[in-house]
Amino acid sequence: MSHEGIRLVSEEEARRADAPELPRDAVTPAKVRVQQTSGEGLEIDWKDGHRSRWGFVWLRNACPCATCHEEREAAGRAAGEAKAKAAGLLPMYVAPARPESASPVGNYAISFKWNDGHSTGIYSWDYLRRHCGCTECQVK
Ligand SMILES: [Zn+2]
Ligand SMILES: [Zn+2]
């Protein structure tokens, strides 16, 4: 990891500059589990006691890198929303997204090398917590 110490501000961060800041404990993971073998997803226990889970397919579709972000904006898709299937084409089997590896980025994020070769997305704790998919957070 050669970028340690360099803090890049993503578009995501710039865009929500006016969003209220989350409490420190809400964006500090106590435990991070990448359920790579079972293929289930990512699970984080936060310091404030909350537990978040995301499926790998959701995470792949929520990739925060500039390319994926722009692609979603153009198509009007929300983070995590799957691409619409092209009409008229025979459905092709595409292996569900799974990370080949996961690595920490500094102490503020995690990145994945996906089975489709993509690896430029940096998932900050803040980004993940703001997109927590648990029922409690969805209700708000
Ligand atoms: Zn991406
Ligand atoms: Zn939640």
Is 74 inside a domain boundary? yes
Q: What is the DSSP letter of 35?
A: -
Quick check: 13 and 64 in contact, CB under 8 A? no
User: In this structure, what CATH number is given to the domain that contains residue 52?
Assistant: 3.30.2020.30
CA of 37 to the centre of ligand 2 (A): 23
CA of 51 to the centre of ligand 2 (A): 6
Alpha helix stretches (DSSP H) within the chain:
11-15, 56-61, 66-75, 125-130, 135-139
Is 8 inside a domain boundary? no
**pLDDT bracket for residue 14 (50, 70, 90):** low
Return the bridge partners of 113, or none. 101
Is 122 inside a domain boundary? yes
Over residues 80-103, the pLDDT tens digits come to 999 887 677 677 777 899 999 999
Proximal ligand: closest to the CA of 69: 1
Q: How many domains does the chain divide into?
A: 1
**Identity of the amino acid at 42:** L
Among the listed residues 35, 90, 37, 97, the one whose alpha carbon sits nearest the alpha carbon of residue 61:
97
Mean pLDDT, the chain, whole residue set: 88
Q: Give me the residue label for tokens 């994020």.
A: 109
Q: How far apart are CA 37 and CA 76, in angstroms?
A: 33
Is 114 inside a domain boundary? yes
Is 76 inside a domain boundary? yes
Is 3 inside a domain boundary? no
CA of 91 to the centre of ligand 2 (A): 34
| Ion ligand 1: residues, CB < 5 A | 63, 65, 68, 121
All residues at 6 or more sequence positions from 50 whose CB lies less than 8 Å from its CB, including other chains: 26, 132, 134, 136
Q: How far apart are CA 114 and CA 116, in angstroms?
A: 5
The per-residue pLDDT for 47 is: 98
CA of 56 to the centre of ligand 1 (A): 13
Q: Give me the residue label for tokens 């710039």.
A: 14
Is 123 inside a domain boundary? yes
What's the chain's Rg over C-alpha atoms?
Answer: 15
The per-residue pLDDT for 4 is: 55
Quick check: 11 and 71 in contact, CB under 8 A? no
Does residue 140 surpass a pLDDT of 60?
no
Task: Tell me the residue range of the domain where 128 lies.
Answer: 26-81+95-139
Is 72 inside a domain boundary? yes
CA of 84 to the centre of ligand 1 (A): 17
The per-residue pLDDT for 98 is: 95
